[in-house]
Amino acid sequence: MLKRVRSNYVTVFFTVMCLLLVHSAAYSQVYKYKDKNGRWQFSDKQPKSSDAVTLEKYKTSSIEGATSNDFVALLKNKYKPKTPIEEATLAVATVKSKLGSGSAFFVSENCYLITNRHVVRPAVGKQWDATQAKIKRNESTFKSSREKIDDEKERLKISKERLDEFKIYMEGLSPGGNKRSAKKEHDLYAKRYKQDKDKYDTISKKFGQQEETFRKQQSDFNFSSSLANTAQSFDIILKDNTKVKANLVKVSESEDLALLKINRCKAPYLKFSRTSAVTQGMLIYAIGSPLGLRDQLTKGTVTRVSRKGVFTDAQILPGNSGGPLVTELGDVVGVNTLKVSQKSALGEGFGIAIPVRKINENFGRYLK
């Protein structure tokens, strides 16, 4: 008896974040090649040996030729801050990287900015690892689904062969009741086969389109990750939505910190609070760009102070990373870095900020 094709085909829908930003100016390059397992790899260094090496050129932003910008006058004239906290918000900006965004703040008049390392190097760390793990799971699901579809294709092939054999048998019968009965049975099997074949063709075509889309998104994500690891300039958006470019100066090897700089400008900047002045229970404010919303402020208290960081119950959300944790006087006590929650990054929990002394330890020679 002919087997019917299963109706519960597995179809897969995936969306992989791919923010491949391209800007005009100087060109950099990334090598695209297949490793020994046949998988595409991306690197800013030319591989020693490969049968298929493609040189991918991409544009990196430059601020060469930019005119001098007085952000102090620009922002103070527009917002006219009345409190130290309002004035502190003038020094906070949004950082756009190849795979996302975060916050940053000016720490000098000549436009040095502090942010988190994972903001400018997002292709490392827990979030990137989680995305990679999800891609691998999706790839495994696609492989499993493809095997099932291939099995159904083989079943259809066998069913067609049996149907053809049955047709030959039917046509060889002498006219009469047996032949009429055989024809009815053949027509029934042929109808079922056509239904199964039509269903298979529809699902196979849809799956193929989804698989092709996934492969492209996977390739784009890998390429964007490679660019994120080599990018040297970043989009900076000020409080008033002014957009400028900042160059990467240094990434800390020991802390989740990075130093950026905008050339030829004058900026409102935040002063550092003395470490001894940060005490448990003091009122503090977190400034940043959480959830894609710029210039946001949350209020809380210091719940704990340790060598590892300043702990606070002020709400820290995705996008706050790299922004400042400040006192009522607008002085920085730490760099917002991490949200700890039992459920999710959007749930209740506490935030951790890297103490400002770590900024001086890592970038002091630039900020003197």
| The two structure tokens encoding residue 274 | 């003395």
Q: How many CA atoms lie within 13 A of 294 on its CB side?
A: 18
Closest CA relative to residue 284, chosen from 315, 307, 308? 315
Give yes or no for a contact between 196 and 1, defined as CB atoms under 8 angstroms apart: no
Taking CB atoms within 8 Å and a gap of at least 24, the contacts of 344-347 are 345/317, 345/318, 346/317, 346/318
Other C-beta atoms closer than 10 Å to the C-beta of 227 total 24
Higher pLDDT, 5 or 310: 310
Alpha carbons 40 and 223: distance in angstroms, whole number? 10
CA distance 2 to 163: 8
Is a pLDDT exceeding 70 seen at residue 160? yes
pLDDT at 107 over 90: yes
Strand 112-115 with 233-237, pairing: unpaired
pLDDT of residue 179: 86
Measure CA 325 to chain center: 25
Q: Looking at residue 122, what DSSP letter applies? A: T
More confident position, 108 or 5:
108
pTM above 0.75, yes or no: no
pLDDT tens digit sequence for 246-282: 999 999 989 999 999 999 999 999 999 987 788 999 9
